[in-house]
Structure 1
């Protein structure tokens, strides 16, 4: 197969959306999808996020292959592709019927056929279906496709998140992708973007105690950390809630005008660095060996950040106040051994359930409040 001058030509309908973005609708054989389109897997290269697609779900792909090979089948689910500006569209000639709603043009779309790694299209939605279509014996099923022209990865990620918003897309995958998208997002996704970005910063910053300790969706093999990004994101979300969230002071207005993300990041680094220093025997170990690194421990210590920072922010030496606060409760904590006094839980019985997180958070917050009171 030559990579020069070879094209897949299909009949298509062309319209425009957004800021003059060309959008095409067309059909092609399922076996042709992987001839023109790449699957952009999510990975990291020297800290830079690449791609956006999750890993292949083999059981899902196999079940689709079995369905496709079961006989004549109806398969109307549209694939969504991001197309390079190199695609060429030629309008068809002919008269337009009177009274026709003029929202699109018909014609032919030419898409370059190239080797893997150089293709002119990327699958935004439908990667599992595309893999199944490529492997099925019945590879002549006409598949509907919607493609939008997009030379930049950010737009592709944006569409991937929005298209998959109502589907069971892994939370961790969305968490890692959100900071890379600058487009206007639905309110629920926009609310998750800032905590996800702060989580990213904590994982990358050499000054952060979490550097390279956070598990991301792009991690492979031995690169995986010990703290789930979901737990850290959820903890930060609580710290951002007004009026008692310690990070809420760094944002003003309902839409976040005057946002001071640097101030939030500094606060998180300062607090969690003291947590690491206070519990060195529990820091950086797998959750099976340390409940501090467990998602429950991260959520609990994240909840404790708010009352401790309330005092620390009014102190002339905030870090010293944090150290004093954590030093007072340290003898009562059971992250790697022992039994939690007043709760009756062995250290490794703490789980990521709402009840356990809530009860242990309340226990430590009450303990912190009682020990912080001046002796009479």
Structure 2
């Protein structure tokens, strides 16, 4: 018996030639039609740790506000929704449709999925608006839609980051997406790509002392409960060490060309933070509420100490971790990560907070203790 063909959604569209491989279409869809052809691809990881999707989770309050507006009177909704469609989509040019300005009119033919089949599209921008439209009384109301053809998830992620570049995307979501984007990025995002990639390695590589401890946006709730270090804290520590001349990772990254000695950086990070883990076993791997070493200020302050300690080492040296442990010995007695009082700071251990003043005070204290132990000026 021949297989039943899936229905096809046919819509009038304007095709704009910007990129020969990825044509752009301008059209209108109702919320029901949009829901039929496009998924919201929320960020998550598969069992092997591979990143899937790229969207942030639903923001209920934002959606509710949009629904209230849509259900009101005299509504105007000019904001377009951007979707990515697979190459299964066809375009039928209209008669005499070709224009000299790179645009042509016609009909876009979008195959609708059968039972158990994936939809041919993904919402790249406008997730909250699409959800609100479906929940409003205007689910059959036409709204502007921009669509581009791309089978590659990497291109969809690239466009997602660019579209949301000036919007308040969660920092953790950006951190996870940046290593997956291979194309050129805006300057402020390009500077975060290497730290974000290193954070990804620290989370997954077996040799990493942080393996399984880093809290990521893509984690399920049950996984998040077993993680204790915010990825944003690690990335800020890495950004500071890579991006400032005083950082121990700065010499391993050529800012002008983007080239870096990843092996050298990795050796330094694994050796130093493994030595930190061995030096403070009672504080390692605990939630920040029980250990300020795993707290954002603790991670960043120990990162600034890393810049001092590792300035005297080469990543290829023998017994590197053991030698770093010896360097950290003068610092260990003054630390109050899990109990007691930081005497020089006049703060109880729980009072260390994620504020610039506490970061500065704690960093200076650790560096002074280290220099005193080496016989240097405090």
Band of TM-score, shorter chain:
over 0.9
Equivalent residue pairs, number: 370
SS in 1 for 2:357: helix
Is the 2:97–2:104 contact (alpha carbons within 8 Å) kept by the matching residues of 1? no
| Aligned-pair Cα RMSD in Å | 1.9
Is the 1:15–1:103 contact (alpha carbons within 8 Å) kept by the matching residues of 2? yes
Cα distance, 1:18–1:240 mapped onto 2, change above 3 Å: farther
Distance 2:264 2:30 in 1: 53
- Does residue 127 of structure 1 match 2:151? no
Distance 2:376 2:29 in 1: 75
Distance 2:215 2:295 in 1: 12
- Does residue 247 of structure 1 match 2:249? yes
Deviation, 1:60, is 1.3
Residue in 1 that maps onto 2:105: 106
The correspondence of residues 301-340 of structure 1 with structure 2, limited to 5 A, is 301-313=302-314, 317-340=319-342
- Does residue 172 of structure 1 match 2:172? yes
Distance 2:20 2:284 in 1: 49
Structure 1 runs not aligned, ≥5 long: none
Cα distance, 1:18–1:365 mapped onto 2, change above 3 Å: farther
Is the 1:81–1:121 contact (alpha carbons within 8 Å) kept by the matching residues of 2? yes
Distance 2:121 2:4 in 1: 14
Distance 2:120 2:272 in 1: 47
Is the 1:3–1:114 contact (alpha carbons within 8 Å) kept by the matching residues of 2? no
Residue in 2 that maps onto 1:38: 39
Cα distance, 1:363–1:374 mapped onto 2, change above 3 Å: closer
Is the 1:38–1:117 contact (alpha carbons within 8 Å) kept by the matching residues of 2? no
Residue in 2 that maps onto 1:365: 367
SS in 2 for 1:231: helix
Distance 1:64 1:31 in 2: 17
Is the 2:209–2:277 contact (alpha carbons within 8 Å) kept by the matching residues of 1? yes
Deviation, 1:341, is 2.2
The runs of 4+ residues in structure 1 deviating greater than 4 Å are: 314-317
Structure 2 runs not aligned, ≥5 long: none
Q: TM-score, normalised by structure 2?
A: 0.93
Distance 2:371 2:13 in 1: 67
Residue in 2 that maps onto 1:233: 235
SS in 1 for 2:83: strand
Residue in 2 that maps onto 1:290: 291
Is the 1:154–1:181 contact (alpha carbons within 8 Å) kept by the matching residues of 2? yes
Cα distance, 1:232–1:55 mapped onto 2, change above 3 Å: same
Deviation, 1:316, is 6.3
